[in-house]
Structure 1
Amino acid sequence: MNLADPGGERVAQIGMTLDVRDEKTAARLKTLMPVVRSRMLMLVSQRTSEELLKRDGKEKLADDVMIEVTRVLNPDAARAVDDEAPRARKPRASGPVRGVLFSSFIVQ
């Protein structure tokens, strides 16, 4: 996907695996995968290559992915996250998604 770099010449190909709480969540996530993929594309396309090439940029992306997937799976819980102060918005591992694992990460 294209990144937000000036000139639009940089692209990223990112493989992600979501570590979910249980099988029920995994099954629900499968039915919502088109929405989740769309949200992930939006998140990544807002980043620059400079952001994504740094460790903290990858960690921020993983946190944002967890928040977005929580919004898709449980909109009521996501509203509570939205109401928190920005520094307190770090996703909780007790939610439906326990982690985001990058299986591939290519920026060109």
Structure 2
Amino acid sequence: MAAKEDLNLGKGNGAGDADKASGGGKGKLIAIIAVVVVLLGGGGAAAFLLLGNNDDAATEVAGAEPAAPKVEEREAAYMPLEKFLVNFDHKGGMRYIQTDIQLMAYEPAALENAQRNMPAVRNRLIMLLSDQDFDALRTVEGKETLRQDVLKAVNEVLKLSGQDAVQDVYFTSFVLQ
């Protein structure tokens, strides 16, 4: 008789059957919703990737003026200068500025020109840095003014050789003491 009871585990008072039916139905519903969400997301991603952002086609369909041709972006080239360590007088005491400067140009010829004229460039920058006001350099505005002065000084030296000039300079370190 124990064997018959073991075989009839699925049959009984019916309470277990109701739990299985309601739990199984909820599980299937959740699984179906999850599959639908994943398929919609995948379809949307596929449509975005395949159709892309076709601005030219959109303007032709709309009858609007075609977009202006895109300007080719130029790649900037950089050249680090050797570290500058310059002393200058401040209210009767000696102060120091230590800075790393990088030159930026869109034309490699400009950086080659700077390399050929490096002694003159460094001399001009040392003289410029030596003539600074300590209190002014402690402000962002003072540093920006110095950066513009450095750019102007470098380009003045480079233009003496009749070659290309650099477009910008950057302080990659700046220490006042």
TM-score category of the 2 structures, normalised to the smaller one: 0.7 to 0.9
Match of 1:98 in 2: 167
Work out which of the two has the higher radius of gyration on C-alpha atoms and give 1 or 2.
2
TM-score by structure 2 length? 0.48
Q: Which amino acid aligns with 1:66?
A: L
2:95 aligns to what SS in structure 1? Answer: coil
Distance change >3 Å, CA 22–CA 8, structure 1 → 2: farther
CA contact (8 A) 1:21 1:98 kept: yes
Shift of 1:20: 1.7
Shift of 1:76: 9.1
Moved over 3 A (4+): none
Which secondary structure does the structure 2 equivalent of 1:9 belong to?
strand
Q: 1:20 aligns with which of 105, 128, 131?
A: 105
Corresponding residue for residue 134 of structure 2: 49
Unmatched 5+ stretches in structure 2: 1-85
Q: Unpaired runs of 5+ in structure 1?
A: 78-94
Higher relative contact order (CA 8 A, sep 6+): 1
Partner SS for 1:19: strand
- Determine if the alignment matches structure 1 residue 4 to structure 2 residue 4: no
Structure 1 length normalisation: TM-score? Answer: 0.76
Identity %: 33
Superposition RMSD on alpha carbons, in Å? 1.8
